[in-house]
A and B are shown apart, each in its own frame.
Chain A
Amino acid sequence: MHIDWSALVVVAVVSIVTSVIFTILLAAGIRLVSIAKIKSNEGGSSAAIVSVGYVLLGIAGLLVLFGIYVIVPQFH
């Protein structure tokens, strides 16, 4: 019986890379939004930081949407 090693490697690489990217986006987004909150509590301006934070969280959200797209067979 033939074992599909290349599929195995692809699955391993994609799994690890995607998990890491998603977590980086989520964690960085959370951190930036938190920094912005603290700054604005201290009276500083934080519009730039907060928007970058939300963009990162938005990209993480897009990854979730892409996951749903992959799951639902009717989409492809």
Chain B
Amino acid sequence: MGTDVTELFVVITVIAVALIFDFTNGFHDSANAMAGPVATGALRPRTAVILGAVLNLVGACLSTEVAKTISGGFFDDSLITVPIILAGLLGAILWNLMTWLFGMPSSSSHALFGGLIGAVVVGAGIASVNGWVIVSKVLLPAIVAPLVAGFAAAWATRLAYGITRRTPSVHSNTGFKYGQAFTASMVALAHGTSDGQKTMGVITLVLIAAGLQASGTGPQLWVIIAAGVAIGLGTYSGGWRIMRTMGKGIVEIETPQGAASGAATSATILASAHLGFGLSTTHVSTGSILGSGVGRGAEVRWSVARRMAFAWLLTLPGAGLVGGLAALLADKGTVGVVALMVLLTVACLVIYVISRRHKINHANVTDSHEVLVLAATPTAYADDPRLEPPAKPKKIKRPKAKSAA
């Protein structure tokens, strides 16, 4: 009886954590579809996230053929246990929150794989992980995705500008904005079908492992709806920090350029999802925006791109480290699970409080190109109400920031 209750408690916790991961997945990837249209004004920020959220939810409900494994070939499926799934999810959630705090787009699937790998390494040793799969499924795609999408976007951007060179921008902007809205919607829908499925798969596996669902059956209706709603809510909340980096931080996006990069993003995502070489949505959209900037001959902020590349490289080991540490506690039964939940809550609160220092939301997302954390600039002190005088430095700083942007 006692063990049954413990197991049920763990299962419920893992399901809750899986839904939290799904939520972070949504707000982390909201920008992939919507950063472009928000930056050019093709869609108003609120409209963009509502559209993205609805399409994510619809996408998640459309595609319920859950992958049989979540190990992705990185390690033996038999090593996957419920505590490992819990630890892996925690690693992925914390990595997603950290990168969000810094406004860095990074792949949620890489974070999930990283967390799981870290947890497996702690449980079964480093030899249980297939290093080649990491190269072929993580490193290589992370290089290929921005290159392919970047090339596509650069060429498309050149053509878009070349063809409409003599067209008055009053006419061309409307058309390109429609194009952008449609391609962004496709990206959001595709994202729902691929990423909503991930969480459904995790929950279904946990239910099967706990003997609450017959093995070999698909996700139950409530799982589909819960996963769809979680990713939709995440998308609706917007992840404005990442939205700012992608829409403003890498390069200023003009309307024709936005349409071209949107076309490149959706074409590359659909091709990769259906022609057998998986690429991360995040890497593709970032690559498109970079490429479109190069294609227009705009000033690309390569320092931002460099930081992003570091974030991508660190995603797997970073999430793996957290996942590994979490794995130490995860198989300690109820006490360990409760301790993990407390730690997760504390970590989320700390990150949230830090993010409030330089808040970014739908109202100010396109005001600047910088995502500030802590005392990244003196404004952190100027905003501090305890310091005198509070008003003056603010007024001096604001116009400067705007003229720079």
Contact = CB atoms under 8 A, between A and B. Distances in A.
B is a partner of A: yes
19 contacts: A1-B132, A2-B136, A4-B277, A7-B277, A15-B148, A15-B272, A18-B263, A18-B271, A20-B155, A22-B179, A26-B160, A27-B163, A27-B164, A30-B164, A34-B171, A37-B171, A60-B179, A71-B186, A73-B63
Given A11-B277, A15-B268, A19-B260, A73 B155 contact: no
Contact of A30 (B144, B171, B182): B171
Given A20-B159, A22-B267, A26-B179, A74 B259 contact: no
A39 to B, nearest CB: 12
B271 A14 contact: yes
A11 B266 CA distance: 12
A15 B160 contact: no
Contact of A15 (B136, B167, B175, B271): B271
B120 interface: no
B186 A67 contact: yes
A14 B267 contact: yes
Nearest to B135: A1
A30 B175 contact: yes
B175 A23 contact: no
Nearest to B131: A1
B172 A20 contact: no
A12 B135 CA distance: 19
Contacts of A8: 144, 277
A67 to B, nearest CB: 5
Residue from A22, A24, A60, A72 with most neighbouring chain B CB atoms (10 Å): A22
Per DSSP, chain B at the interface is helix
B163 A71 contact: no
A34 to B, nearest CB: 4
Q: How large is the interface on B (under 10, 10 to 19, 20 to 34, 35 or more residues)?
A: 35 or more
B97 interface: no
Contacts of B263: 18-19, 22-23, 26
Interface in A2-58: 2-4, 7-8, 10-12, 14-16, 18-20, 22-24, 26-31, 33-35, 37-38, 57
Nearest to A34: B171
B270 interface: yes
A12 B65 CA distance: 26
Given A30-B167, A34-B164, A73-B65, 19 more contacts: A3-B140, A4-B276, A7-B277, A10-B271, A11-B276, A12-B148, A12-B151, A16-B155, A16-B267, A18-B263, A19-B263, A20-B156, A22-B156, A27-B159, A27-B164, A57-B175, A64-B183, A68-B186, A71-B189
B70 interface: no
A53 B393 CA distance: 53
A35 B268 CA distance: 31
A31 to B, nearest CB: 5
Contacts of A68: 186, 189
A70 interface: yes
Given A24-B159, A34-B167, A73 B275 contact: no
Contacts of B183: 22, 64
Interface string B156-197: 110110011011100110011001001100100110010000
Given A11-B276, A24-B159, A16 B266 contact: no
Contacts of A4: 276-277
A31 B176 CA distance: 11
Contacts of A70: 270, 274
Contacts of A12: 144, 148, 151
B271 A11 contact: yes
B197 to A, nearest CB: 10
Contacts of A73: 62-63, 65, 193
A67 B189 CA distance: 10
A7 B168 CA distance: 41
Contacts of A30: 164, 167, 171-172, 175-176
B268 A19 contact: yes
Contacts of B160: 23, 26-27
B4 to A, nearest CB: 37
Nearest to B259: A26
Contacts of B43: none
B255 to A, nearest CB: 11
Nearest to A60: B179
Given A16-B151, A28-B163, A64-B186, A23 B156 contact: yes
